Amino acid sequence: MSETLPHPDLQFLYELWSAKRNGKAMPSRSDLDPLEIPGRLWPHIMVVAVVRAGEHLRFQYRRVGGEFAAAFGRDPTGRFFDEVLPARGGYRDYVLNLYGRIVTRRSATYSENTFTLAGQATPRLTRRLSLPLSNDGETVDTVFTAHIFELPRSTDQRPIEPSSFIEVRELELD
């Protein structure tokens, strides 16, 4: 990867994931040792199970860090994306399509978007690193994701409707 990620914690996780690949398309979940990840990062991390029903994919929150739960307004652990993400403004479709691409491409993805959930007055910027994991070395069965949430600087703000989002950037990393 020639581009440096805009947040050092996301860069650290990407480099750790890359090192654990050991020549494979992606590491397995067991290749990632939780003790190698600094404690300060765990509130930003979520683990997503990829559930297949034929050709249909669903994504289930298996572990949700406190920063994500706070930004989202609740802890969705155990629930599926399509059950809890707001559809208004296209946000649910955006996230489902993003994770679908990660599974199909089998590659790490960095993305940014702003979102405002109902009841929030100010949009948040999400810097998201999504890292696919595979138990068989080929099929993505887990996505290890880290989110860094920021309130946009005044120069970053764009008009945004309540419960909607704006995609800022998506970058396939490898």
Residue 170, pLDDT score:
73
pLDDT averages per 10-residue partition of the chain, 174 residues: 80 96 94 96 97 94 92 90 86 93 95 75 84 96 94 51 60 77
Query: Can you say whether the dihedral through the CA atoms of 137, 56, 174, 168 is positive or negative?
Result: negative
Provide the token pair at 112.
């940014």
pLDDT per residue over 10-36, tens digit each? 999 999 999 999 989 999 999 999 999
Helices (H), the chain: 8-20, 66-72, 81-84, 91-105
Residue 171, pLDDT score:
74
Looking at residue 27, the DSSP 8-state letter turns out to be: -
pLDDT per residue over 150-172, tens digit each? 875 554 444 444 445 666 777 77
Residue 122, pLDDT score:
72
CA distance 22 to 159: 44
CA distance 89 to 94: 9
* Residue 47 near residue 146, CB atoms below 8 Å: no
Residue 165, pLDDT score:
61
Give the DSSP H/E element, type plus range, for residue 84. helix 81-84
Entry pTM: 0.87
Q: Which CATH number fits domain 10-21+44-172: 3.40.50.300, 3.30.450.20, 2.60.40.10, 2.40.40.20?
A: 3.30.450.20
CA distance 153 to 129: 21
Distant-in-sequence, close-in-space partners of 6: CB < 8 Å, separation ≥ 6:
127
Residue 152, pLDDT score:
57
